[in-house]
Amino acid sequence: MSEFDIIADFFSKQDMRKDDVVLGIGDDAALVSTTQLNQIAIAIDTLISGVHFPEETSAYDIGWKTLAVNLSDMAAMGAEPLWFTLALSLPEQNKSWLSDFAAGLFELAEQYNVPLIGGDTTRGSMSITVQIAGKYTSEPHMQRRNAQIGDKIYITGTLGDAALGLQSLQQSVPVSLEEKQQLLLKLNRPQPRVQEALALRTFVNAAIDISDGLYADVSHITDASNVGAIIYVDKLPVSRTYRQTLQGENHFDLALTGGDDYELCLTISPENEAKFLAQAESVGCQVTAVGEIVEGRDLTLYTHGDVPYSVKLSAYDHFN
């Protein structure tokens, strides 16, 4: 199988047709039409085996997750995903791996109507990069630099299940087989909050998707906005499995510092809060208030109202 066979067999056969794709896979570059667009959001993310997913992760899940993390970046900007490209480096050609990878990738691509319009295929250690573009019309909403003092901090969904799923692969965690499978679904098949973000964006000041853990990701908002934040850790939304499995003094640490949740952290000004909550309910998106934006530059954690909380775990850093 040559590089070109791989492209033809696994990546060029999408049924999806979109009017704004003038020229897709097959030439030196793809052509897209952007007559209606003022601002285009562009994001890129690479997944490396053993770093972003455990070595034993299925090809299907890798395909899914590669696109999911990029869609999540579009969600975090309140951008509408349009197209993506794929750079694939593989140690060997393996038809069944490629077929499963493509199936996971295109399952999600179809769900969000984002076609693959180009890419690059090389031999090397396994690395998978997706670049995605989306339509951004929300200025200045959903930007990290746009948090305002007095904003409430909200989280979509629940936190910590993906990290707990990863733990369940590495050590024994007291969960049933069914619960373990649920946790691994959270880890391997994150559902990016794209529709939710598009529905909520006009009520949101700053936003970030939670990929490295809330603790690290909130500080990206406070840094960019020159503000401080308070998080009430006992308000963090966690699943039933999480609550039943993790107990004891520092059991919120994983929800605070575990990565891979791909939920959104949003800051909402008080005058928009009622409208935000009504809209979240109408699109069926669970949102939970966990803190507020304050003056200063510190990120302060409390539990039980005003009891200081300190984290014992730390977020993942590629170079540390």
Site for ligand ADP in 19-78 (CB under 6 A): 25-28
Residues in binding contact with ligand ADP, number by CB under 6 A = 13
The strand pair at 152-156 and 263-268 is best described as antiparallel
| C-alpha triplet 190, 80, 286: angle, nearest 5° | 45
Adjacent-strand bridge partners of 132? 43, 84
> Which CB, 83 or 276, lies closer to Mg ion?
83
Q: Is 15 in the site for ligand ADP (CB under 6 A)?
A: no
> Which CB, 5 or 120, lies closer to Mg ion?
120
Q: Return the residue of 120, 139, 295, 298 that touches ligand ADP, per CB under 6 A.
A: 120
Q: How far is the CB of 123 from ligand ADP (least distance, A)?
A: 12
Residue position matching structure tokens 């964006």: 201
Number of H helices, E strands in the chain: 10, 13
Find how far residue 301's CA is from the centre of its chain: 23
Structure tokens, 131: 């670049």
Q: How many CB atoms lie within 10 A of CB 216?
A: 19
Adjacent-strand bridge partners of 178? none
Q: How far is the CB of 31 from ligand ADP (least distance, A)?
A: 11
Q: How far is the CB of 129 from ligand ADP (least distance, A)?
A: 10
> Which CB, 120 or 295, lies closer to Mg ion?
120
Q: Return the residue of 59, 88, 162, 197 that touches ligand ADP, per CB under 6 A.
A: 88
Query: Could you tell which of ligand ADP, Mg ion, none binds residue 25, using a CB distance below 5 to 8 A set by kind?
Result: ligand ADP
Q: Which of 191, 182, 237, 195 is nearest to 69 (CA)?
A: 191
Whether the Cβ atoms of residue 134 and residue 100 lie closer than 8 Å to each other:
no
Q: How far is the CB of 88 from ligand ADP (least distance, A)?
A: 4
Residue nearest to Mg ion (CB): 120
Adjacent-strand bridge partners of 105? none
Q: Which of 156, 158, 177 is nearest to 168 (CA)?
A: 177
Q: How far is the CB of 11 from ligand ADP (least distance, A)?
A: 4
Residues in binding contact with Mg ion, number by CB under 5 A = 1
| Interacting residues with Mg ion (CB under 5 A) | 120
| Interacting residues with ligand ADP (CB under 6 A) | 7, 11, 25-28, 86, 88, 116, 118-121
